[in-house]
Chains A and B, each alone.
Chain A
Amino acid sequence: AQSVTQLGSHVSVSEGALVLLRCNYSSSVPPYLFWYVQYPNQGLQLLLKYTSAATLVKGINGFEAEFKKSETSFHLTKPSAHMRDAAEYFCAVSPYNNNDMRFGAGTRLTVKP
């Protein structure tokens, strides 16, 4: 199975600061890539996805991610953090030809006032 690695289990930013959450994938063939957010005691909500169309993907809540094949990366960014962005963020990967979806270890985002 393919895999993703999220660098940094915990990221802390000030409100209004840039958010950068890192994700690298391991695959010789570009897979489908996703970012999900999870609030406490909730399911997972899709923020955005890369499915081999545009390399810069815009998602909900002001988040975006750029697919960089040369770096095997799919980092998540948001220009200005808000308190409501505090949550657990998961990067996920799925091959282009089956339904196997795997998650990274997750990054907990804390937003300081």
Chain B
Amino acid sequence: DTEVTQTPKHLVMGMTNKKSLKCEQHMGHRAMYWYKQKAKKPPELMFVYSYEKLSINESVPSRFSPECPNSSLLNLHLHALQPEDSALYLCASSPSTSRGNTEAFFGQGTRLTVV
């Protein structure tokens, strides 16, 4: 199984809603990532978890709250988002640890629209 599965595929939420994005992998990878991608732009790194601990937070606003309950799951909790947060949210995982990132496997993404 070389898949990273993201749910839901599409999400429309109001600015006062609370929702969560989910990501799952069963490749035994110990690093997991959230990226945000706006239209016609590259993915922007948001968070990195390594061994279920947050290792990188790219100064993301607190309305985005990541969670890594175990080595296979990664969540992104959303609250009080703004319309400019509408984007494709990509999850990725990699087998690397402190020896660097040999490659990352990406999910298909969640297309988020904030209204």
B55–A41 contact, CB under 8 A? no
The residues of B that contact A41 with a CB separation of less than 8 Å are 88, 109, 111
Contact code string B23-46 (vs A, CB < 8 Å = 1, else 0): 000000001010000001111110
A32–B102 contact, CB under 8 A? yes
Supposing A98-B98, A102-B45, A103-B43 touch, asked if A49 and B103 sit within 8 A by C-beta, the answer is yes
Contact code string A37-62 (vs B, CB < 8 Å = 1, else 0): 00001111110010100000000000
B45–A100 contact, CB under 8 A? yes
A98–B106 contact, CB under 8 A? no
B101–A44 contact, CB under 8 A? no
Supposing A95-B100, A97-B99, A98-B98 touch, asked if A104 and B42 sit within 8 A by C-beta, the answer is yes
The residues of A that contact B96 with a CB separation of less than 8 Å are 99
The residues of B that contact A95 with a CB separation of less than 8 Å are 100-101
Total number of A residues with any Cβ neighbor in B under 8 Å = 25
Supposing A44-B43, A44-B90, A90-B42 touch, asked if A99 and B55 sit within 8 A by C-beta, the answer is yes
The residues of B that contact A45 with a CB separation of less than 8 Å are 106
Given contacts A34-B103, A46-B103, A99-B100, 5 further A-B contacts (CB under 8 A): A42-B109, A43-B109, A51-B102, A95-B100, A98-B98
- Interface residues in chain A, defined as those with a beta carbon under 8 Å from any beta carbon in chain B: 32, 34, 36, 41-46, 49, 51, 90, 94-106
